[in-house]
Homo-oligomer: A and B are copies of this chain.
């Protein structure tokens, strides 16, 4: 595995693979890698001949008072894990590469970036769309792989790629979960034992709603009610949002039909966690 920090070195490797007609898969990350990330790396290796992973804790997607400073960083361990999983190139851009002095260009989006995460983390998707555009332009992969755990981010990136005609295919992979259902997240490391136990409620609430829908419930309001009810039974959970939205627009819906996403954001102690379940409803 090559480890590079400069755009020139990155370009050297990617172009040498292009000359050999190798396809390039890309997994952008903020590091603190867990099994969820590694699954994306394996998926990229299935989809392309060469795999590039980037680690960059992107300051512009963190709001004031969020956890940018304390976000877990462990590039050495990450690097070992990536090497084991068959990553060919680790790209570690410097902050000055992504945000050089005088940087003033941002990618902004209306729907699907406005609600939910967009509402509770103002500027978050602006930061995400900007850094993803830059990383895609730097790496120029054939395909990039994102996790479904960040469902709204995935919708934002699909919209970004379509709207700006970015020459890349976007693939996604289902959320990887702990045995009790908690979605893997670098932020889980912040949780105390007690908080960690409480966090399992999130997936329990989402699963309970899925079951209601499978059993025929079609009122989105009823589903929101169940979602909130289960979450609020856990005293350590401070609920931010619990919504049922259209999978394409991320607008709240009245009736459960076609492609939907149920999404939750909570605070547990000082840790903010999100999760979701997508469903396709027939007829």
- Report A's interface with B, CB cutoff 8 A: 7, 100, 102-113, 129-130, 133-134, 137-138, 140, 159-160, 162-167, 249
A-B contact pairs, 7 of them (CB 8 A): A7-B165, A104-B109, A104-B113, A104-B159, A104-B163, A105-B109, A137-B164
The CA of A91 and the CA of B108, in the complex, are separated in Å by 26
Measured between beta carbons, the chain B residues less than 8 angstroms from A162 are 100
Contact indicator A111/B102 (Cβ below 8 Å): yes
Residue contact B105 to A108, C-beta cutoff 8 Å: yes
Instruction: Give the docked Cα–Cα distance between A119 and B170 (Å).
Output: 37
Q: In whole angstroms, how far apart are the Cα atoms of A163 and B103 in the complex?
A: 6
* A111 B105 Cβ-Cβ under 8 A: no
In the complex, A139 Cα to B117 Cα: how many Å? 33
B134 and A105 contacting across the interface, CB-CB below 8 Å: no
| Complex interface: chain B residues within 8 A of A137 (CB) | 164-167
CA distance A155 to B162 in the complex (A): 26
Q: How far is the CA of A107 from the CA of B163 in the complex (A)?
A: 11
Q: Quick one: closest B residue to A133, CB to CB?
A: B164
> A167 is contacted by which of B108, B110, B129, B140 (Cβ under 8 Å)?
B140
Contacting pair B164 A105 (CB below 8 A): yes
User: Cα distance A165–B10 when bound, in Å?
Assistant: 13
Residues from chain B with a CB closer than 8 A to the CB of A111 are 102, 104
- Give, as a whole number of angstroms, the nearest-CB distance from A220 to chain B: 21
CB pair B140–A105 under 8 Å, yes or no, is no
Shortest CB distance A139–B (Å): 10
- In the bound complex, residues from chain B placing their C-beta under 8 Å from that of A160 are 105
Say whether B109 contacts A107, CB under 8 Å.
Answer: no
Asked if B109 and A138 make an inter-chain contact with CB atoms under 8 angstroms apart, the answer reads no
Q: Across the interface, do B134 and A165 meet the contact criterion of CB distance under 8 Å?
A: yes
* Chain B residues, Cβ within 8 Å of A130: 164
Tell me whether A164 and B134 are in contact in the complex, defined as CB-CB below 8 angstroms, given that A104-B159, A159-B104 are known contacts. yes
Q: A105-B107, A137-B167 are in contact. List 15 more A-B contacts (CB 8 A).
A: A7-B165, A100-B162, A102-B111, A103-B163, A104-B109, A104-B110, A104-B111, A104-B113, A104-B163, A105-B108, A105-B164, A134-B163, A134-B164, A137-B164, A140-B167
Among A104, A112, A129, the one with the most B-chain Cβ atoms within 10 Å of its Cβ is A104
B residues in contact with A106, CB < 8 Å: 107-109
A109 to B102, CA, bound (A): 11
* A110–B166 CA distance with the chains assembled, in angstroms: 22
Q: How far is the CA of A138 from the CA of B7 in the complex (A)?
A: 22
A160 CA / B113 CA spacing, docked (Å): 22
A28 to B152, CA, bound (A): 34
Residue of B whose beta carbon sits closest to that of A129: B105
Shortest Cβ distance from residue A23 to the other chain B in the assembled complex, whole angstroms: 14
